[in-house]
Amino acid sequence: MTIVKAIILGIVQGLTEFLPVSSSGHLSVAQHLLNTPEDKILFLTVMLHLGTLISIFFVYSSDIFLICKEFILMIFDVFKGKGFRINNDHRKLGVLIIVATIPTGLMGIFFKDIFEGFYRSQLIIGISLIITGTLLWTAERIHSGKRNIKQMNWVDALIVGIFQGFAITPGISRSGSTIVGSLFRGFNKELATKFSFLISIPSIGGAVLLETKDVITHGAGDISFSILFAGILASFIAGVLAIRALINFIKKEKLYYFSYYTWTIGSVIVVLNLVR
């Protein structure tokens, strides 16, 4: 492992975590091309995810602050005997983020071994990328929703959470899945984008905790602090750029552009695996 490799992997992780092209699939392919053994990459992968998590807090800092503030005030209301009051948008958003996280977490717990087995198959990654592209193209073409946070309910959150759960499959984009799920539920594009990124916080945070457990079990390897810092910084910067780029793409109704990319790279991976 070198600083250059760490920066490359950080850029790949940061860009593909939030652009709807699948970070797990791209990171798996990048690790293979850079010839990085799993025992050398495990701890770095955890730190790269941490870098992308920080980028969400950076871009959505004001929303996250208000959500946390309102959630704490809501808990105080319960203890004061005022009941479970959801009386503003940020309070409601905080509750719905928790609701969306439930199906994602359950799918991760009960199907973790199955999905992890998919990482050993480049063919599955290729097919999943093609599926991602198809979902993006379909959602962009049929979307006409204008629902805002006031019109959103717990069923919407559960369904989007299920879409996020399917992204455990390498090649299925997490951001793509949740945005597609949100658009299918008729959300306006601003809410679909914001909700997708905000529900990724517990998802990515949970993944970091699970991966940290594996690191403790298998060891952190011999990766130096400079390599770790370079990778985290690269994933953070790339993550911020990716979030802002995707927001811009969705506003301009260009989400389907990513379909052509995922169709192309997915088809190449499938063909190469079938030819072998």
Question: Cα–Cα distance between 227 and 44 in angstroms, integer?
Answer: 9
Question: Cα–Cα distance between 100 and 211 in angstroms, integer?
Answer: 21
Q: What confidence tens digit (pLDDT) does each residue in 37-64 have?
A: 665 566 777 788 889 999 999 999 999 9
Domain that holds residue 78: 3-275
Task: Name the 3-class secondary structure at 185.
Answer: coil
The larger pLDDT score, comparing residue 86 to residue 241, is at 241
As a whole-number percent, the residues of the chain with pLDDT over 70 amount to 91
Residue closest to 112 by CA, chosen among 122, 102, 104, 124? 104
Contact 136, 192 (CB under 8 A): no
Contact 52, 14 (CB under 8 A): yes
The larger pLDDT score, comparing residue 68 to residue 23, is at 68
Split into its structural domains, the chain has a count of: 1
Inform me whether the pLDDT recorded for 198 exceeds 90. yes
Task: Tell me how crowded residue 104 is: count the other CB atoms within 10 A of its CB.
Answer: 26
pTM: 0.83
Task: Name the 3-class secondary structure at 187.
Answer: strand
Beta bridge partners of 147: 187
For 182, the token pair is 């949100």
First-to-final CA distance of the chain: 29
Beta bridge partners of 216: none
* pLDDT (mean) for 109-128: 76
Inform me whether the pLDDT recorded for 143 exceeds 60. yes
